[in-house]
């Protein structure tokens, strides 16, 4: 969404799993589940219509979530970005975008699997954040796999982290073009101690059936994590509602998409795609076949269910691309030819990201 005149209105019928008005009875299930390595401490694409406006900006698009009785949404300028500037990249750690972002992850970890996040793979041009994909001949990376360590060609990708943190109640939304590539396009939030995570976007966009990729490329992954660091334990929901197949998107990379989340409280999340509510998480426990926020008591300091905090910590906003361990192990990663011949497909693009807080009217 540019500051000048364009407002994208995505019109489509929702086709999702079980979160709301959905049907999944004829969908094949998948036996794999994403196992991200979190660091130490034929429907056609939706039609686009253009509405001429005078001063419309990305901040003026209606927030689809309800701010609550007597409340209104207040735009958070210091956490939002329309990427209407130029940033050519830098080989060193630095801030950019009026010091809203750093050009790396929130600690020294350089990425999961064969991913290597590089400062210079972060750029801004043409009104978009652009996270690039590159590869250096002979460069490899060793990572943990299901049967021990594995070494593969390294894929250089981009990652940015907000310099300010967010905390509930907050609505975060972005307009993004998922990369048509064998890696994950991600927008997420993570606590500084790496124990609580909310995934706004996690999508595998390769429009290619190689190595059983298609099932993943057809669905947006809707999830969150809670962790115990020592000994390491990771919980994320895995019920059918965590994979959302959306009408008008034969692949997650088929078109630009607005995707957001209302983090209302430690025990309440609403997920939105193109302004439509697609899933609600409103229970710590698993209820009615829908996995809960923390059914294993990982957020409890005592281990007792009564002491669970839920998703209660402030979080950094992170935008990145990554070849994750579980996909790399299956051979789902870019080839040299993919990267060389299709650079735009291997560029994660974000038009804008915006943050709102509910305040008293």
From the candidates 36, 84, 173, 197, which is the catalytic residue?
A: 197
Distance between CA atoms of 189 and 202, rounded to whole angstroms?
Answer: 12
CB 344: neighbour CB atoms within 10 A?
10
Query: Is 197 one of the annotated active-site residues of the chain?
Result: yes
Distance between CA atoms of 348 and 192, rounded to whole angstroms?
Answer: 24
Query: Is 44 one of the annotated active-site residues of the chain?
Result: no
From the candidates 84, 173, 202, 322, which is the catalytic residue?
A: 202
Cis peptide before 169 (omega within 30 of 0): yes
Distance between CA atoms of 176 and 359, rounded to whole angstroms?
Answer: 27
- The DSSP bridge pattern shows strands 115-117 and 155-157 to be parallel
Reference 152, options 347, 333, 337; nearest CA is 333
Distances (CA, A) of 218 to 9, 139, 183, 221, 253: 22, 31, 14, 10, 9
Q: Which residues are catalytic?
A: 197, 202
């Amino acid at each position: 969404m540019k500051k000048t005149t364009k407002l994208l209105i995505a019109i489509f019928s929702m086709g999702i799993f079980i979160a709301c008005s959905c049907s999944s009875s004829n969908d094949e299930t998948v036996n794999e589940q994403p196992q991200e390595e979190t660091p130490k401490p034929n429907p056609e694409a939706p039609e686009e219509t253009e509405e001429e406006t005078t001063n419309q900006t990305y901040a003026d698009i209606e927030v689809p979530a309800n701010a609550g009785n007597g409340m209104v949404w207040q735009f958070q300028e210091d956490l939002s970005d329309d990427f209407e500037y130029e940033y050519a990249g830098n080989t060193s750690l630095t801030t950019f975008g009026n010091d809203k972002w750093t050009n790396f992850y929130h600690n020294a970890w350089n990425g999961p699997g064969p991913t290597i996040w590089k400062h210079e793979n972060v750029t801004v041009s043409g009104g978009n954040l652009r996270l690039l994909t590159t590869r250096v001949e002979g460069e490899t990376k060793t990572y943990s796999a299901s049967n021990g360590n594995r070494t593969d060609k390294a894929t250089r990708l981009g990652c940015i982290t907000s310099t300010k943190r967010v905390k509930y109640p907050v609505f975060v939304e972005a307009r993004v073009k998922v990369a048509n590539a064998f890696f994950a396009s991600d927008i997420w939030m993570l606590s500084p101690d790496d124990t609580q995570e909310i995934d706004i976007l996690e999508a595998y966009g390769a429009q290619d059936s190689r190595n059983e990729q298609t099932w993943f490329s057809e669905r947006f992954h809707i999830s969150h994590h809670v962790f115990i660091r020592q000994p390491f334990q990771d919980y994320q929901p895995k019920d059918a509602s965590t994979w959302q197949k959306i009408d008008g998107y034969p692949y997650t990379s088929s078109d630009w998409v607005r995707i957001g989340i209302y983090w209302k409280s430690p025990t309440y999340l609403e997920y939105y795609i193109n302004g439509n509510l697609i899933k609600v998480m409103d229970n710590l426990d698993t209820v009615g076949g829908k996995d809960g926020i923390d059914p294993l008591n990982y957020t409890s300091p005592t281990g007792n269910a009564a002491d669970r905090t839920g998703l209660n910590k402030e979080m950094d906003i992170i935008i990145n691309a990554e070849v994750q361990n579980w996909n790399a192990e299956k051979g789902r990663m870019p080839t040299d030819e993919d990267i060389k011949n299709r650079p735009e497909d291997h560029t994660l693009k974000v038009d804008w990201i915006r943050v709102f807080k509910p305040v008293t009217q």
